[in-house]
Structure 1
């Protein structure tokens, strides 16, 4: 499992990069003479690059050996953060976030596919969980650590910290990871046609709605906590730490569920519980203790779903599982974009108290889409060919 934990270290670096910037925006704006809104576009540029680049780069690099690809994208990701650390102007900073976002997008989908490929089938769910435990650990530890570095030294050192994490992962993976051949010699158009695999559109829509549910609330969590008035500013870092700790254990639990009861059943339970937790969030925020319990439970049940989603997509995709994982990354960021818009509309209308209910409603929709996809006409025993391909997906192992 040592190699899997190294892949998780790379996800820790990416997770830290994803979440760290929001806390550094005032410092970035002050140094470069920007408004906070302009500085915030560095987050938007990173997210959009991640969403668009994930499927495109996965198709372009389909033939490349996976070990070579992983170390290359880690180098690109490290270079992007290194450039962020020394950026002399706003334009260079935006460019650096594009480079880092492209590297992050391709690493995330490739690391998951490699972890599944070098692990025995009966332990695949746990391997995927360990890889994404790196992401959840970043929420709990990486972001506070990076923010502390930015506070003590400079936001530039925080980006440098992320670059060093990526280089450490690269140094560990290159000698330890075996050569893993690319999984397809098909062109990018044929690879992108993987989205038409039976049940894949419903699975990707489930991901998007799952993300919308959580991030409709999480994006505006500070404002929601202010409205509740039970938690002071000094308590919030500890509450977010509880969310991160819950996330860490949730992603590990999701991996075990995938191996023991199957991805669809585990995912249905996780999303259903998430709807309940979000609906209960409003009354829970009436006390500090209730808020702490609610945030820990929220992180647990939300992140429990992620390895289950990935396990299912790999089973659905067969030879094109890595492309479905890349498209899933795009669905995640599309979901975050939609969540920001929905939450913004409700917040602008003075309906902050409705955010948890809107999030819960989105999770119910995700559960309905999951159920509809699971009961759709099953594959034949021989499997179904991906459009334009001579290969077949694995028979409906994903449910």
Structure 2
């Protein structure tokens, strides 16, 4: 296996652990800082908002820079800011450090997604995307449960270890990743570069509709995920360690889906996978919100995130194919859309769950988002077929 893809797997494992760890820690952190359920969601939102806003700038700019150097500096910043989360003396300071962690992650992850098509053969891109996505899945399977077990002793420890691990991973970035110079040769002012890159993405066929579809998917996905920890604690009286055990089923499903996704798409086709996966995941969320069985919840989360693991590489590969000369912009936009959806999803889920104390309300919102996303992806697929058909007719005439 390509050692750089293995390194990317580890980077996504680390960033994913930091991203997802905060959800099962929310009950402990809200007690530590003495904040409400709705306000606690901003510990998810601060990271996501910092990521989303900064990615909108750094992504287009990175298309004109050496991706290796951008990745290296971003990982160093990520390590320092994550370590500082462990010593945050107040809720406001924790929000600040979480925002800085999100900003640093916004520097690193677009370089990962954007550089994969330059490092592997075209027929291996979806597989490589799946392997790197597997790092996120393993972070849920191992990273988050291990973090929650450690946090059961002291919530600061996971942040300390993640910070140190991030700084250690900066070393192989320096010595293993080759220089990745920009594909854009003309020199332009930063402002012009950003505008032109965004224009090339949004004027691409299906550019706008694809990003809206992806945003809708992540809005529903993270609305449900953000308050899983709070729901499990309230409905089943699970502590941090117990929630970590449930998260293992979630992460295991995501891991299997990530590695098998490319084979599934090759066998059944993209549209069939989208219909079955999005529809089934929405129904499963509704199902687990109406059960009193922790075993059914575990099985349901396993199935849901197996489907999520299958979907994510497909969607990212579709987005990366929109404009080859602006892959950093696309990666940044896709991640900004994801973390923007995380911010909005955590806020909406906080309102729904805080007022009803029923996860069913959050699950219904997630189902509605998945239906919207599916309709938009299918519409984009029909437009692709239509354009190809007209192009073939024109060529024949």
What is the TM-score when the length of structure 2 is the normalising length? 0.84
Query: What SS class does the counterpart of residue 316 from structure 1 fall into?
Result: coil
Q: Secondary structure at the match of 1:137?
A: helix
- For residues 269 and 183 of structure 2, the distance between their equivalents in structure 1, rounded to whole angstroms, comes to 25
Counterparts of 1:355 and 1:69, CA distance in 2: 37
Return the offset for 1:90: 5.8
Residue 395 of structure 2 is matched in structure 1 by none
The alpha-carbon deviation at position 235 of structure 1 amounts to 4.8
1:72-83 matches, cutoff 5 A? 72-83=73-84
Q: TM-score, length-normalised on structure 1?
A: 0.83
Partner of 1:315: 321
Single out whichever of 178-187 and 69-78 deviates more from structure 2.
178-187
Instruction: From the superposition, tell whether residues 351 and 151 of structure 1 become closer, same or farther in structure 2 (CA, over 3 Å).
Output: closer
**Kindly tell me: are residues 352 and 73 of structure 1, through their superposed partners in 2, closer, same or farther at Cα, counting changes over 3 Å?**
closer
- Matched with 1:190 is 196
Query: Which residue does the alignment assign to 1:7?
Result: 8
Deviation at 1:72, TM superposition (A): 1.5
What SS does the corresponding residue of 2:250 show, helix, strand or coil? helix
Q: Residues 14-25 of structure 1 correspond to what in structure 2 (within 5 A)?
A: 14-24=15-25
Q: Indicate whether 1:277 and 2:284 are aligned.
A: yes
More deviation, 357-366/211-220? 211-220
User: Separation in 1 of the partners of 2:284 and 2:227?
Assistant: 17
Three-state SS of the structure 1 residue aligned to 2:128 is helix
Give the CA deviation at 1:20: 2.1
Q: Which deviations, in whole Å up to 9, do the C-alpha atoms of 1:337-381 show, x marking residues without a partner?
A: 333344344431465434333322321211111111111265579
Which aligned pairs between 1:160-309 and structure 2 lie closer than 5 A? Answer: 160-184=160-184, 185=186, 187-193=193-199, 194-222=201-229, 224-225=231-232, 235-257=242-264, 263-282=270-289, 285-309=291-315
In the superposition, relative to structure 1, how do residues 355 and 183 fare at CA in structure 2: closer, same or farther (>3 Å)?
same
Aligned equivalent of 2:366: 359
Cα separation, 1, equivalents of 2:132 and 2:260: 13
Deviations 1:53-96 (A, max 9, x none): 11211122322111112111111111212333455666654443
Bigger mean CA offset, 264-273 vs 130-139: 264-273
Residue 53 of structure 2 is aligned to residue 36 of structure 1: no
| Pairwise CA distance, 1:222 | 4.6
Identify which range, 344-353 or 321-330, moves more after superposition: 344-353
Root-mean-square deviation (CA, aligned residues, Å) is: 3.0
Structure 1 residues 220, 89: closer, same or farther in 2, change over 3 A? closer
By relative contact order (CA 8 Å, sep 6+), the higher-ranking structure is 2
Relative to structure 1, the CA distance from residue 344 to residue 67 in structure 2 (aligned partners, 3 Å threshold; closer, same or farther) is: closer
In structure 2, do the counterparts of structure 1 residues 332 and 145 end up closer, same or farther at CA, with 3 Å as the change threshold? same
Change (3 A) 1:367 1:148: same
Shift of 1:9: 0.8
Classify 1:218/1:83 alpha carbon distance in 2 versus 1 (closer, same or farther; 3 Å).
Answer: closer
For structure 2, list consecutive stretches of 5 or more residues without a partner in the other structure. 392-397
